[in-house]
Amino acid sequence: MKTLCTILAALVLPGAVLAQDADVGRALYRTHCATCHGLEGRGDGPMAGVMLIKPVNLTELAAQTGGRFPLERVIKRIDGREPLVSHGSPMPVYGDYFDGSFDVPMKTPSGQPVLTSQPVVDLVAYLREIQIVE
C-alpha cells in the first residue's frame, strides 16, 4: 500500500519525483563510493589498485551512452537489482544502506518511474552533476 501511495503521489505531485539533493549525494558518495571510484569519480580511489577489475570512471557515464545519463541502469546497479560482474554481487561497500525499500520514484527520460530509496536518489543527483560530456 505504501508503494502504491508513493507512486500515486509522484504522478500527482511532480515535485516528489524531483526531490533530489546533490549535496547529500556528495556526502554519501564520499562515504560509500570514493574508496574505489576516487574523490572525483574517475575510478582512481585508493582501493582501485588492488581490484581485479578497475572501478568505472563515473564522470563518463553519460558520455559513454551518447550524452544521455543511464538513469535506470545506475539506479539498479547502486541499489543491487543489477549486480556487477566485477563485484560478483551488489556493491559490497554499500551493503544494506542503498538497497531495501524502493519507495521513491525517479522518472526515466521516457517518463516511466523507477522506484528506489531516497539515498540512491540523492547519490544519483550527485552523479549527474559530475558528468563530463564532450
DSSP count for the chain of H helices, then E strands: 6, 2
For residue 22, report the phi and psi dihedrals to the nearest 5 degrees.
-65, -30
Residue 45 inside a domain? The answer is: no
First CA to last CA distance, the chain = 44
C-alpha cell at 109: 527520460
Name the residue range of residue 109's domain.
2-35+61-129
Q: What is the pLDDT along the chain (134 residues), one digit of tens a residue?
A: 444 444 434 444 343 444 689 999 999 999 999 999 999 999 999 999 988 888 999 999 999 999 999 999 999 888 888 877 665 555 655 656 776 678 899 999 899 999 999 999 999 999 999 999 76
Residue 47 inside a domain? The answer is: no
Task: Report the domain count for the chain.
Answer: 1
Q: Is 115 helix (H, G, I), strand (E, B) or coil?
A: strand
Q: In residues, how long is the chain?
A: 134
